[in-house]
With several copies, the nearest count.
Chain A
Amino acid sequence: MSVLITDAAFDPAEQLRLFTHASKGAGAIVSFTGLVRDTSSTGAVTRLHLQAYDPMTQRGMEDAIDKARGRWPLQTVSIIHRVGDMAPDDPIVFVATASAHRRAAFESADFLMDYLKTEAIFWKKEYTEDSERWIEPRPEDYKDKNRWNS
């Protein structure tokens, strides 16, 4: 299980290589990569800034992995999350799950992404040529998250 919060750029393909290597015998591996969008409602995005608040951010992500492991039989889980300044198309987040079971790998990655979008302790500021604004989760994000409450 690993959680990494980093202000350095990372390569999702390289992370999948490392993760697959660490998941021998798993059978099913799902990865999610989130990238900085290049457009927003107010124009072309020039920069995205992400802020965390450690140790709360790290601890929250570890708790989310524990919850996922309580629900699904997972062999390996990894989350990498960028902080600091990013450009459009830069990877922001990488989540990977490995299991003997395909559905467990899919559902747990989906669950972790819903957590990251609505509960993970990050704040995002989006910059365009002539504006800047803090972004908060959308109603859909909370709705996606609530799928897991039953």
Chain B
Amino acid sequence: MTTLIYLGRLADVAGTSEEQLDLPDTIKTTDDLRAWLNTRFSSPTPAFDQSVRIALDSEICVEPASLGTAIEIAFLPPVGGG
């Protein structure tokens, strides 16, 4: 089981801020995952584009990366506080 976390505006795209699921065996890299999610949550422009960073178990990964044994995968659109 993998937990996917949809942060910021991506929660609106996914319809939830978090989901737990078994990823298909064919999804092995961050590129696979982006393509799969862009199909699942289709929108006029792909939501999981390169402006969205991916964190594997709370570490931003340098892409393309293997998903390895990550149990929590988070999708971070452009950030900014203050």
Contact = CB atoms under 8 A, between A and B. Distances in A.
Is chain B in direct contact with chain A in the complex (CB below 8 A)? yes
Interface of A: 34, 50-53, 55-56, 81, 92-93, 102, 113, 116-125, 134-137, 141
B58 interface: yes
Most buried by A among B7, B9, B60, B82: B82
B80 A137 contact: yes
A137 B5 contact: no
Interface of B: 5, 7-9, 12, 55, 58, 60, 74, 76-82
Contacts of B79: 118-123, 137
Label chain B's interface by main secondary structure.
Answer: loop
A134 B81 contact: no
A121 B80 CA distance: 6
Contact of A53 (B9, B12, B74, B82): B74
Contact of B81 (A56, A81, A102, A125): A81
Contacts of A121: 76, 79, 81
Contacts of B80: 116-120, 122-124, 135-137, 141
